[in-house]
Structure 1
Amino acid sequence: MELIPLLPLDRWLHFLAGIAWIGLLYYFNLVQTPAMAEANKDQKGPGSAAISKYIAPRALLWFRWSALVTWLSGLMYLAIAPQYSIHGAFTLGIGFHNIALTAIGVGAWLGTIMLFNVWVLIWRNQKKLLNLVPATGEEKAKAGRVAFLASRTNTMLSIPLLLFMGSAPHGLLF
């Protein structure tokens, strides 16, 4: 079966899931984290319980699954688009003499690192912070630091990721 007709649908799925993933990443880093700190300092306010109980678990659900869908749809695109290949991308185009493979490959590796951070570092530690799994105060403190650093790392990696992924179809790096 010829899969090329699926390319536009897969590409849009990749874009939409990526928008959700990166949008939630920026939400966590620019909105929720500062709001939680402010809510915890406010002695007369409701505190951060509502965010922790109702908003964060739902946002993290969308965050981690949009990350996975983005990565899988990107992998599918590499597999079926005639100008790319999974092997060519993940070897950064070495031996292919194709700058587009180098660009898409750097983006694919950044996305893979970010996916690892979401599922292995951020989600595993957020479960402790949100009391979804038992953890001591010391474990929660460590979990908070690991999740924070992984999330900030992903925020910084998202900038070159978007640069490389956006430039790949044009064969341009800059």
Structure 2
Amino acid sequence: MDVTSTCWTLLVSFIFSIMSADQENITAESGQNVTLTCRAPNIKNDLVEWSRADLGDEYVLFYRDDLSVSDHQHQSFKNRVDLQDRQMKDGDVSLVLMNVTINDTGTYKCRVPLDKTHSSNPISIIFLSVVDPPAPPGGATEDGDGVGRRHHGRLIASVLCLVVIIVVFFKIFHHYCDPL
């Protein structure tokens, strides 16, 4: 196998690994209950952390010894979150977020630390986007096309971002792997 073929194989493998990582995008309407899925096979304790980067040291949910621990839980999540299955059967540590609002938009991370003193890498990373419910049929929204236009804008931005990533990695691999 020549250098160019190897580089192409590495590039394609890298792109597929990015796209198949345990990451998920969820869109929900305000007022809905949302389940953020996370599975931790071989869970050895009953310690689960759900966090969001923009909350600093506060948690969305910290679950230990069969209880939700409210110390260091962000105020906006108190009485609105719970595990889907408190027995964590089959490693299910999915989070149920009730009555979502626009302020719940963000990137959520699920961790299952090895013990009470050590953190771990996220098992699941989920980007939740909360939008206002669509206007009733025949009703106009603030900006004319409203929600639909925002969705198209996000889709276009996502596709452009993916294209930029592919082009950048192509150039890097081409630069380092070009046999001259």
TM bracket, shorter-chain basis: under 0.3
Please identify the structure whose Cα radius of gyration is greater.
2
| Structure with higher RCO (Cα < 8 A, 6+ apart) | 2
Q: Which has the higher strand share?
A: 2
TM-score normalised by length of structure 2? 0.24
TM-score normalised by length of structure 1? 0.25
